[in-house]
Chain A
């Protein structure tokens, strides 16, 4: 047990030192986006893998978080920190709203409603020009700073890393509490869950709120990282990428969102710079389909097993030495 923690800490240290080893600005920017996607996909793992609900409109919450934080910090001059909090707040409220259809609807029907939700938000982003800048974009969003000190990409990487770890910690604690058990129970059988004295409506509201909050947080973090917003990253296709991240990573795994979010952000870039510049998006979608068909449990459990094996080999080696 102690060994595990030590290995874990060493692993974390290596990851946190990464920006010092490789300080190429573009790589750092990408890594930061990967972490943001990991936060969002973690929310989807919670919503779908744990609570058994589905959302194909997650880009809608991502947009709400991004534009709210951008608006409040740029136009109204609030501190970034407050902008992000407001972004999360509005997203959570929207998430509560989107949970209402889930009281009655399941699976495909629910996914259709969430698609329509995402489309409506996208429509608003394009058409509410005075607030969002519409297709011309939203410019001049302040980058991360503390007073007069501008954070570097390395600093932001560490900040995002800490936020992601904190998110995972919250999710871990919730999962191993009466709330988490109730969510998993609802995922398996909602009638039986109700007869255990649990309101599945409340659970659904909470699950949608939580995942929407994380998507809003991710959107707000993205807005201040990019400094500029346009409607492109908030379409139906982004929503489907987000779900793909969660599924490819592994819906039943705590780390599914992290593996999927980081993997599916970096993979297209590897392909793009590995000589596939024209085909990288096509190839990415094919790879995702293949993973879904042949590894329906996702990559995270696979990686987990791999690590376990490596550790075992190592510990036995040290014994024979």
Chain B
């Protein structure tokens, strides 16, 4: 089963074509990796699918539903979550509040219930806090729940961003270079986490430069160069593909 499908997806910024006629599928329940040299359009792919940048032409289907014209928030509510290459946390909120922001669409209480502090609202608030703490526990941040994320270590901030994405209860999760700038130990935490997520049935799309990481977790790999797919397949095959080697070596 394909959870996501793109048809001739193209994105250009002025003259630069960052994604060119991409037609690809992401299989449900698997970990799919995107690799490619700098500037090959990996982040752009995530940005267009998650509605952060409007698509130039082509179509995107999520569970057979066309989402090309949807706003970012609608796409997120359908169950597509993401992290950013350059971490984007809400530094004016505490750690747990960051996670709770992504729980907003699970609340049913309107402003009136909030103002009158109804039982229903308090119950919802309790449940969502519990859920948020559970997610923080999963990424190892439970004991920092009420601190500010502002000065936290890079690895912890990345984990918080993942917890926030998971708070959407996504079916499809995009991680844009989650291991970049991480220590070996932190790196291991993320890798284990990805395997846990796969067990839970969450489809993950991973953009990474670290080949060890991809080798360890990816079920399927797409290789991008200049906005186009130049190779696809399991990592062991891709690794030896002369086209891929050339793309990487040609860059260096």
In the complex they form, whether A and B have CB atoms below 8 Å apart is answered with yes
Contacts of B107 in A (CB 8 A): 178
Contact (Cβ within 8 A) A196 B101: yes
- Find residues 173-205 in chain A having any chain B CB closer than 8 Å to their own CB: 173-174, 177-179, 181-182, 184-185, 187-189, 191-200
Closest chain-A Cβ to B145's Cβ sits at a distance in Å of 14
Contacts of A170 in B (CB 8 A): 115
Contact (Cβ within 8 A) A188 B90: yes
Contact (Cβ within 8 A) A185 B93: yes
Contacts of A189 in B (CB 8 A): 88-90
Contact (Cβ within 8 A) A195 B101: no
Quick check: which of B55-63, B76-84, B181-189 contacts chain A, the rest being far away? B76-84
Contacts of B128 in A (CB 8 A): 178
* Interface residues in A, total, Cβ within 8 A: 24
Known: A177-B121, A181-B93. A197 touches B77 (CB 8 A): yes
Closest chain-A Cβ to B231's Cβ sits at a distance in Å of 29
Known: A179-B111, A181-B97, A197-B168. A188 touches B104 (CB 8 A): no
Closest chain-B Cβ to A101's Cβ sits at a distance in Å of 18
Contact (Cβ within 8 A) A196 B104: yes
B117 at interface by CB-CB < 8 Å: yes
B147 at interface by CB-CB < 8 Å: no
B91 at interface by CB-CB < 8 Å: yes
- Find residues 18-34 in chain A having any chain B CB closer than 8 Å to their own CB: none
Residue of A177, A187, A197, A199 near B102 (CB, 8 A) is: A197
Could you tell me the distance between the alpha carbons of A174 and B110 in the complex, rounded to whole angstroms? Answer: 10
B72 at interface by CB-CB < 8 Å: yes
* Interface residues in B, total, Cβ within 8 A: 39
Contacts of B167 in A (CB 8 A): 196
B152 at interface by CB-CB < 8 Å: no
Query: How many contacts A-B (CB < 8 Å)?
Result: 91
Contact (Cβ within 8 A) A185 B90: yes
Closest chain-B Cβ to A296's Cβ sits at a distance in Å of 15
B105 at interface by CB-CB < 8 Å: yes
B8 at interface by CB-CB < 8 Å: no
B114 at interface by CB-CB < 8 Å: yes
Chain B: CB-nearest residue to A199: B73
Contact (Cβ within 8 A) A181 B115: no
B230 at interface by CB-CB < 8 Å: no
Closest chain-A Cβ to B180's Cβ sits at a distance in Å of 18
Closest chain-A Cβ to B175's Cβ sits at a distance in Å of 13
Could you tell me the distance between the alpha carbons of A198 and B168 in the complex, rounded to whole angstroms? Answer: 11
Could you tell me the distance between the alpha carbons of A179 and B108 in the complex, rounded to whole angstroms? Answer: 11
Contact (Cβ within 8 A) B73 A188: no
Contact (Cβ within 8 A) B76 A197: yes
Residue of B73, B103, B111 near A194 (CB, 8 A) is: B73
Known: A174-B111, A196-B164. A188 touches B76 (CB 8 A): no
Closest chain-A Cβ to B107's Cβ sits at a distance in Å of 5
Contact (Cβ within 8 A) B115 A191: no
Chain B: CB-nearest residue to A252: B92
Contact (Cβ within 8 A) A191 B88: yes
Closest chain-A Cβ to B222's Cβ sits at a distance in Å of 22
Contacts of A174 in B (CB 8 A): 111, 114-115
Could you tell me the distance between the alpha carbons of A170 and B50 in the complex, rounded to whole angstroms? Answer: 34
Interface centre among B72, B76, B107, B164 (most CB of A within 10 A): B72
Could you tell me the distance between the alpha carbons of A179 and B114 in the complex, rounded to whole angstroms? Answer: 9
Interface centre among A173, A187, A192 (most CB of B within 10 A): A192
Interface centre among B101, B103, B115 (most CB of A within 10 A): B101
Q: Could you give, for residues 40-67 of chain B, a 1 whenever the CB lies within 8 Å of some chain A CB and a 0 otherwise?
A: 0000000000111000000000000000
Contact (Cβ within 8 A) A199 B71: yes
Known: A188-B93, A199-B73. A181 touches B101 (CB 8 A): yes
B100 at interface by CB-CB < 8 Å: yes
Could you tell me the distance between the alpha carbons of A198 and B77 in the complex, rounded to whole angstroms? Answer: 8
Chain A: CB-nearest residue to B83: A195
Interface centre among A178, A179, A189, A193 (most CB of B within 10 A): A178
Could you tell me the distance between the alpha carbons of A198 and B73 in the complex, rounded to whole angstroms? Answer: 5
Contacts of A187 in B (CB 8 A): 92
Closest chain-B Cβ to A183's Cβ sits at a distance in Å of 10
Contact (Cβ within 8 A) B50 A193: no
Contacts of B121 in A (CB 8 A): 177
Q: Pull 18 A–B residue pairs with CB atoms less than 8 Å apart, ordered by A.
A: A174-B111, A174-B115, A178-B103, A178-B104, A179-B111, A181-B101, A185-B90, A188-B91, A188-B93, A189-B89, A191-B88, A194-B72, A195-B52, A196-B73, A196-B102, A198-B101, A199-B71, A200-B73
Ordered nearest first, which 3 A-B pairs have the shortest CB separation? A194-B72, A197-B76, A196-B102
A-B contact sample (9 more), CB < 8 A, given A195-B165, A196-B168: A173-B115, A178-B109, A178-B114, A188-B91, A189-B90, A195-B73, A196-B164, A197-B77, A197-B168
